Amino acid sequence: MIHHLHIDLETYSSVPLAKAGAQKYISSNDFQILLFGYALDDNPRYVVDLAQGEPLPFWMLSALRDPTFIKHAHNAAFEWACLSKVYGQMVPSQWRCSMMSSLYHGYPASLEAVGRALGLPEDKQKLNTGKALIRYFCVPCKPTKSNAGRTRNLPKHDLDKWAMFKEYCGQDVETEREIERRLSVFPIPDFVQKQWETDLIINSRGVAVDIPFVDGALIMGSQVKTELLTEAVTITQLNNPNSVKQLTGWLNREIDTGEESSEIISLSKDTVKRLLNRDDNSPAVQRMLEIRQELGKTSTKKYDAIKMCVCPDGRVRGLLQFYGANRTGRWAGRLVQVQNLPRTYTKEIELARELVTDRKTDAVRCIYGSVSDTLSQLIRTAFVASPGHKLIDADFSAIEARVISWLAGEQWRLDVFKTHGKIYEASASQMFNVPIERIKKGNPEYALRAKGKVAELALGYQGSSGALKNMGALDMGLTEDELPDIVSRWRAANSHIQNLWYEMDNAAVQVIQNGGTANVHGLRLSREYDHSQNVYCFTIRLPSGRKLFYINPQVGENRWGNPSITYMGLDQTSKKWQRIETYGGKLTENCVQAIARDCLAEAIEHLEAAGFSIVFHVHDEVVIDIVPYAEDKVMLDQVCAIMTQPISWAPDLPLGSAGWVGDFFTKD
């Protein structure tokens, strides 16, 4: 007989959880589980007061490892890690995560937010007193005269608050159980659950960090910032030239260009760049703008983040959140945000890293120019192979372009990916009716490649001229007048992709309004009723069998008088649960990115099964830490072969992969 054990823990550690991450928080010597809340099956909840010496029930100690007891928690990775430290390693396959379930079904991540979105009754909602109680009992306190100089609040210091804290813990168990009950209407596929378990192992494995290098970067960054600010004070005589208000005021006084000076109200990168390009700046203004630009690169926040979250064994863990990207189910970056690191253009990286480690600021400046820019480019290289190991990095080549071509049935593009793979050149060839052989360096036709590239990057999801500009078309030397022509040429060359947008939009409108299902290029669109919530969901079943959920869909009218699809979701800008508008191109983007994500997830499972230990991954790229067992090329070829083996649910999707083998993480 299978039992369901819902668990919620309240814990203490002197390490800041949000900044340092769960693994470092748990690894602290003073980490402690304070309260163990649980509910078995449909029985009443109970809270074990571990902080005051109450023992766990005897049956619980065996249940934590018994496969007939399925353990449930919200953000179960945290409970799993906490209990693994205190009671021995827990088995990932015995755990279920209601946070992952919430995200899978299109709801927010946090327990409080998903409870509100689901409209749970008050007796099932998370108590709003929790944050203050957590601050009181779960983190260090500031020593004062009134608290006799203590640095931590114990239950005995406020028994009334402690009683409230126990009630809060018990209520969280109740909320988690109710969320699981309601979301069970649409079960999570077994293969998605397995991917969550693999992710748990990868995040717990972590990646090694070159601590001496990080320390050198932090010291050099601080030194350069101090030097620049000192020079800025000398030039401007301002108390704080790093202040936007003070510096804009100084610039408005120094730059005498009539009405234009009134435009300096911010110091964004674009504003500083525009001002630097003026011909009549005084030497003082020009140098101050250069300093401002340089200060924008001196931020050591990424290095600070690495230093903050590195565990005692020199590894950073918890860099990724499973299903963190709402809607598509892609992983989201956490802590250091490895999905948003600068590229590495610096030559002779080994020398640069050695100089930073040795804190030779002048040498870096002499050889590489800007110290700040060099440090920024080297952030990736802080992540290194374990001693005696190598990193194998492999990524899918142009995965989204391949997926959308496969999904839409754009044959000429599929032929490109099955042969030479030069999609930018091929796209330009199709758009401008020029033989692809002519689009190569040295020929005048090579200038068309830039148009093919920006079109490929910007236009696949129904984007227009605005999308081209957002992708940097004007910075590439294209003029605004050229953009509409690029849009029309790309769409004409990719008529099947263009048709896919409109087919998706029309099918979604029909399904939402009339019910039933519709099939669009292997995607099954449905309107499904969630009886636990008394709401309809618009779902898209992907080729993998996974579903995308759009809660409470409606069809209205947009400003052009056409049908407009909306649904309830978490707005990525406001972070609020609200009605969001979508359309055919956006639905296509969701599906393409979700399918690409499923390709990566399947590759991760295959790689792990073959003994390749993944330490983290970025979008379409995996990073493996392994003891060398063959020549670099042999190891890389084996990894790429696994990544490009036919996908079980898309055997005709042409995949490509390439990568490198090295001692540290980089990307050129």
* Within a domain: 625: no
Q: Are residues 475 and 379 in the same domain?
A: no
* Residue 611, helix vs strand vs coil: coil
- Contact yes or no for 29/62 (Cβ under 8 A): no
Q: For residue 483, what are the domain limits?
A: 411-493
Query: Residue 178 has what pLDDT?
Result: 94
Burial of 444 (0-12, 13-18, 19+ CB in 10 A): exposed
Q: Considering the domain boundaries, does residue 159 fall inside one?
A: yes
The label of the residue with tokens 């001693």 reads 387
> Is 607 domain-assigned?
no
Same domain, 416 and 367: no
Does residue 519 belong to any structural domain of this protein?
Answer: no
Half-sphere exposure of 488 (CA within 13 A, CB side): 5
Contact predicate 505/583, CB 8 Å:
yes
One domain, residues 174 and 115: yes
Count of residues making up the chain: 668
User: Which residue is listed with tokens 């790309």?
Assistant: 490
* 432: Cα separation from own chain's centroid: 37
Q: Is-contact 431 493, C-beta < 8 A?
A: yes
**Residue 58 located in a structural domain:** yes
Low pLDDT (below 70) residues in the chain: 122-125, 127, 256-263, 297-299, 668
Say whether both 138 and 37 belong to one domain: yes
pLDDT score at 29: 96
Q: Examine residue 469 and state whether it is found in any structural domain, yes or no.
A: yes
Q: Please state, in angstroms and as integers, the Cα–Cα distance from residue 385 to each residue in 311, 333, 369, 392, 634, following that order.
A: 16, 20, 28, 9, 18
Distances (CA, A) of 411 to 353, 399, 401, 497, 653: 46, 16, 12, 11, 12
Give pLDDT, residue 256. Answer: 64
Query: How confident is the model at residue 257, as a pLDDT?
Result: 52
Determine the 3-state secondary structure of 410 from DSSP.
coil
Looking at the fold, whether 123 and 45 belong to one and the same domain comes out as: yes
User: For residue 608, what are the CA distances in angstroms to 605, 638, 643?
Assistant: 5, 13, 11
Helices (H), 494-543: 495-514
The Cα–Cα gap between 50 and 34 comes to 5
Q: Do residues 258 and 343 both lie within one domain?
A: yes
Residue found by looking up tokens 């766990």 in the block: 56
Domain-ending residue, one of 450, 475, 493: 493
Alpha-carbon span 668 to 377, nearest angstrom: 10
User: So what's the pLDDT on residue 298?
Assistant: 59
Residues contacting 135, CB < 8 A, separation 6+: none
- Please indicate, yes or no, whether residues 80 and 145 belong to a single structural domain of this protein: yes
Report the pLDDT value the prediction gives residue 328, as an integer from 0 to 100.
Answer: 94
Q: What domain count does the chain have?
A: 3
User: Residue 601: inside a domain, yes or no?
Assistant: no
Question: Do 50 and 163 share a domain, yes or no?
Answer: yes
Specify whether 102 is located in the same domain as 237: no
For 142, residues 6+ apart whose C-beta sits below 8 A from its C-beta are 151
Residue 510 is assigned to a structural domain of this protein: no
Tokens of residue 317, six digits: 């863990």
Q: What is the pLDDT of residue 261?
A: 45
196 and 212 both lie in a single domain: no
Residues near 273 by beta carbon (within 8 Å), at least 6 away in sequence: 293
pLDDT for 123 = 63
Distances (CA, A) of 509 to 486, 503, 504, 527: 29, 10, 9, 10
Contact between 115 and 109 (Cβ < 8 Å): no
Residue 102 to residue 323: CA distance in whole angstroms: 10
Distance CA 272, CA 292 (A): 8
Last residue of a domain, one of 470, 493, 516: 493
- Token readout for 581 is 């508008």
Residues 10 and 60 in one domain: yes
- The answer to whether 527 touches 516, Cβ cutoff 8 Å, is yes
pTM given for the model: 0.92
Q: Kindly give the interhelix angle for 283-295 and 211-236, rounded to the nearest 10 degrees.
A: 150
Per-residue pLDDT reduced to its tens digit, 498-531: 999 999 999 999 999 999 999 999 999 999 998 8
Q: How far is the C-alpha of 67 from the C-alpha of 95, rounded, in Å?
A: 9
Residues 46 and 127 in one domain: yes
CATH of the domain at 32: 3.30.420.10
